[in-house]
Every structure is written in C-alpha cells, then in structure tokens.
Amino acid sequence: MNSANLWNEIFTNKEWGKYPSENLIRFIARNFYNAKNRNEIHILELGLGTGANLWFCAREGFRVSGIEWSKTGVERFKKRLDDENLSIQIDEILTGDYEVKLDEFKDESFDCIIDSCSLCCNDFNKTKRIFDKAISKLKIGGKFYSSTIAKGIVGYDESKDNFQLPNGGIYTHVGMIRFSNKEDIAKLYKNNNFTQTSLKIQSIEDETGLIDRLFIVEGEKINPKATGGGDLQITRLGK
C-alpha cells in the first residue's frame, strides 16, 4: 500500500489528530504571538494530516498553507475550518508528494515551516532533499520546526536499516519510519542558509521500556553571507 492510500485509510477509520502538541503551540507562541499583524504571517506545514496544527494557526489569526498525501486528511481539515468559519485563513492546500509540491510555492514566501513527524516517513536522502527545498521557501529570518522519531524506542530494530517498518510499539501500522540519532539530525538539518537554534529531546517510558522519543528541531533561515548565529541548545523534556 502506498503512502497516500495508507493515510487515507488511517484518516478514514480513526479520529486522528484534532489538537497540536504543546511543543508546537509553544514554538508558534514564542515566535509569532507578538507579530504586529498575525494575518501577515504565512505558515506552511509539510504533511498536515487532518490539519490540527494548521487549524490552531488559523484560529490564532495566521495565514496557513499545507501539503498532504491524503485526500481524506485534506477534506477533513477543510471541513473543520469551514465549520468553524476559519477558511478565510487558508492560502493554499496541495495534495501530493511534498518533495514535488514544494516547487509550486515561491521561494522566500513563508515566515514559518513546520513538520510534525511527517518528514520521518521518508528515507534519509529524500528527507534531506525535502528539507533543503523547504529552506528555500522560507524568508530570511523565517522559522523552521520539525519533530522526528528517535532510535531505541519499542518497535525499532537496530539490526535493520534506519528506514524500516516498526515491529511493535506506538508506531505500528503507520507505514515506514526513519529512526534517527543526534548524528543523523546534525546531517539532515544542515544547510548553508539555515542555523539550528535548538534541539529538544522528549521521552516517554514505562516499565516495559522506552515508548517514545522525539527530537524537536528548531532553527531559522539566515543570510548565507552573514556570520555567526545562535548557539545550539539541547533540552530534555521530561519522561
């Protein structure tokens, strides 16, 4: 089953993703709540799913765009915004592979790009290509947020390639996952026009083991001719 069909089935049969994570809310609030005119802030999501993150951004007064494989997910998102009289905040929603669909957006047209465990549904090389292309769509000073799944959790098989079908745990039945470590993160999110300002690590475990572990990457687009940049901060967010 290809990615589009898989996620169409998931979004059709499950009540999935109605609210954003606290980490994403904090990121948006910290960077954009003080904007003079929120309606001039343009946010793009890679892999919007059923649109929980973009629903939140639209509700807070920002302009939103997104790319998603699943037509079902897009339909649910558009219906929700229509039902809540938020459709006016939508700029453009595209359906398909975001490595391809990113080309339909102008360079340096977004103030923010977000990825909530969607890029990790692609192998390393494709993820790198998508990330580099996404950075070209950010304005200078634009913010980037990405959460991605770490190695070592229940369901990860260290004897296999890092891009694998989980053999158990909370990511079973959602298709192929690219599991990462800090070395992978450093390579994936490296770009001459990008500075990584924060790397947070969020872990959840119980008596059976490590249930979930996420790397949360934040950064911004820089002028490649500029020197310096923010110091990388690594933060652990509880268990």
For residue range 173-201, what is the model confidence (pLDDT) as tens digits?
889 999 999 999 999 999 999 999 999 99
State phi, psi for 208 to the nearest 5 degrees.
-90, -15
For residue range 76-113, what is the model confidence (pLDDT) as tens digits?
999 999 999 999 999 999 999 999 999 999 999 999 99
Q: Is 114 helix (H, G, I), strand (E, B) or coil?
A: strand
| CA atoms of 85 and 109, how far apart (whole Å) | 25
Classify 3-148+175-203+216-237 by CATH class. alpha beta
For residue range 113-170, what is the model confidence (pLDDT) as tens digits?
999 999 999 999 999 999 999 999 999 999 999 999 999 999 999 999 999 999 999 9
Confidence of residue 10 (pLDDT cuts 50, 70, 90): very low
Full-model pTM: 0.89
Residues ≥6 apart with Cβ < 8 Å to 18? 50, 52
| CA atoms of 131 and 125, how far apart (whole Å) | 10
Within 10 angstroms of residue 125's Cβ, the number of other Cβ atoms is 10
Residues ≥6 apart with Cβ < 8 Å to 134? 44, 46, 102, 113, 115, 144
pLDDT higher than 50, residue 12: no
Confidence of residue 33 (pLDDT cuts 50, 70, 90): very high
